[in-house]
Amino acid sequence: MNTHSGELGQPVRQVIVGEGNAGQRIDNFLHLQLKGIPMSRIYRILRRGEVRVNKGRIRQDYRLRAGDVVRIPPLRYGSQPRVVRPDEHGLGQLRGSVLFEDKALLVLNKPAGMAVHGGSGLRYGVIEALRALRPDAPFLELAHRLDRDTSGCLVIAKKRSALRRLHTLLREKEVEKIYLALLKGCWRGGARRIEVALRKNLLRSGERMVRVEDEGKPALTVFEPLEATELATLARVTPTTGRTHQIRVHAAHMGHPVAGDDKYGDAELNGRLRGLGLRRLFLHAYRLRFPHPDSGEMLLLEAPLGEDLRQVLGSLGVGLKAGSGSP
| Terminal C-alpha separation, the chain | 51
Residue of 147, 149, 261, 266 with catalytic role: 147
CA separation for the pair 321, 318 (Å, rounded):
9
Residue 153's nearest CA partner among 325, 301, 321 is 301
- The 8-class DSSP code of residue 113 comes to T
Active site residue 102: no
CA 295, distance to chain mean position in Å, is 25
Residue 323's nearest CA partner among 151, 146, 99 is 151
CA separation for the pair 255, 148 (Å, rounded):
23
CA separation for the pair 130, 135 (Å, rounded):
8
CA separation for the pair 166, 240 (Å, rounded):
15
Q: Which residues pair with 200 in a beta bridge?
A: 210
String of DSSP letters for 122-175: BS--HHHHHHHH-TT-S--EESS---TT-EEEEEEESSHHHHHHHHHHHHTT--
Residues near 210 by beta carbon (within 8 Å), at least 6 away in sequence: 198, 199, 200, 201, 243, 244, 245, 246, 248, 249
H or E element, residue 91: helix 88-95
Q: Which residues pair with 57 in a beta bridge?
A: 52
Main-chain phi, psi angles of 200, to 5 degrees: -80, 140
Active site residues: 147
